[in-house]
Structure 1
Amino acid sequence: MTRRRIPLWMLFVALVVVPLAEIYVLIQVGQVIGAWWTIALLIADSVLGGWLIRREGARAWRALRSALESGRMPARELADGALIVFGGALMLSPGFVTDLLGILLILPLTRPVARRMLTTALSRRLLAAGVPPQGPAGRPHTAQGPGPVVRGDVVDD
């Protein structure tokens, strides 16, 4: 089994570009509204983020439980939960840039866009790894082309 490595450009962005952007934005905001107001805004942002994470996390948990109780695959609910956790982690780091990205991942209005991007990225990775696409019941597609589909049940004697 080969292990996928994180691309070098992603590490560069995460470890160099994002911190520099955070420092730049903090300095710019501090120059406009002052240092103490900037700190107060960061604290208010953290409080708002904590409340939002708690609210959306509870909503995602209820949706996950409902999907499991109804017997359907909770793919959407799991993706939402992962996005809320990742958004919450971004909210924990001080700064306005990561907080903005975290809020976009947490808000129910903007989360579907992030969910679509996450689904596309995961699908590409699975296809690249050779995992066949799944049918509606979680079974791999085996048909090679268009043709009649015979639906039926398997009866064991």
Structure 2
Amino acid sequence: MTSVLVLNGPNLNLLGQRQPETYGHTTLAEVETLCRETAQSLGVSLGFEQSNHEGVLIDLIHAARGVHDGIVLNAGAYTHTSIALMDAISSVDLPVIELHLSNIHARESFRHTSYIAKVSVGQICGFGPFGYALSIRALCDHLNVSAGRK
């Protein structure tokens, strides 16, 4: 069975509390439920992780190799700063969809730079929590998954 890892970076554990005017009121637990429902509807298995620590995220990306078929990554602020995450993605040879709740291109100029985009299949941003479902669907389409078939 195809497996997707949804990986969340720093401060996403505070979804629903932190800057709701930007990130909304949906909690990370609610996002996980949405992701699990989306994966189930597509017939794929799902891993779901969050860490505030760059090294832990790198370890999770490395550990995905041979376990998951692709990654949906909301790297949060590390998107704009982490060459190490970019290198980790390049090292595992797994397709990655970059995800952001807000439209990073409509925000501060420093958020317009993405090291993750350089090594991703594509980027989904600005659709709030629904972006997670879109990202899982886009990744499965990229992997040619349809109703549980790869």
Quick check: TM above 0.5?
no
Q: Which has the larger radius of gyration?
A: 1
* Structure-1-length-normalised TM-score: 0.25
* Structure-2-length-normalised TM-score: 0.26
Kindly indicate which of the two structures has a greater share of residues assigned to helix. 1
Kindly indicate which of the two structures has a greater share of residues assigned to strand. 2
